[in-house]
Amino acid sequence: MQNDLNQSIHALNQGRLILYPTDTVWGIGCDATNPEAVEKVFKLKQRHDSKALICLVADDRMLNKYIKKVPDVAYDILDVSEEPITII
C-alpha cells in the first residue's frame, strides 16, 4: 500500500492523473493547484470547463487555504461529522 501511495504522490507532483477508489466509484484525481493537470481531467472527461469539479480537502486548514469565504454552517457540520462528508 505504501508503494502505491508513493507512486500516486509522485504522479501528482508531475502533473499526471491518478485513479482512486471511493465508496461507490473510481475517482479521477489530480493536483487541483496545477492548471495543466486540471485541464487534463476536463479533457479526459470530455467536460466543458464551465462545469465544476470536486476538490477534496483533508481538514479546516486546507479548506481555508483554497476557499475564500467558508460559511459558518460548514464548520458546524464538520464539527459534528464523524465520517468524511461532502459539502456543496
> Please, are residues 77 and 87 in contact by the beta-carbon 8 Å criterion?
yes
Q: What is the pLDDT of residue 13?
A: 97
Residues 10-64 have pLDDT tens digits of: 999 999 999 998 888 999 999 999 999 999 999 999 999 888 888 888 888 888 8
Q: Say which amino acid occupies 5.
A: L
Domain ranges of the chain: 1-56, 57-88
Q: What is the pLDDT of residue 24?
A: 87
Q: pTM for the full model? A: 0.76
| CA distance linking residue 22 with residue 20, whole number of Å | 7
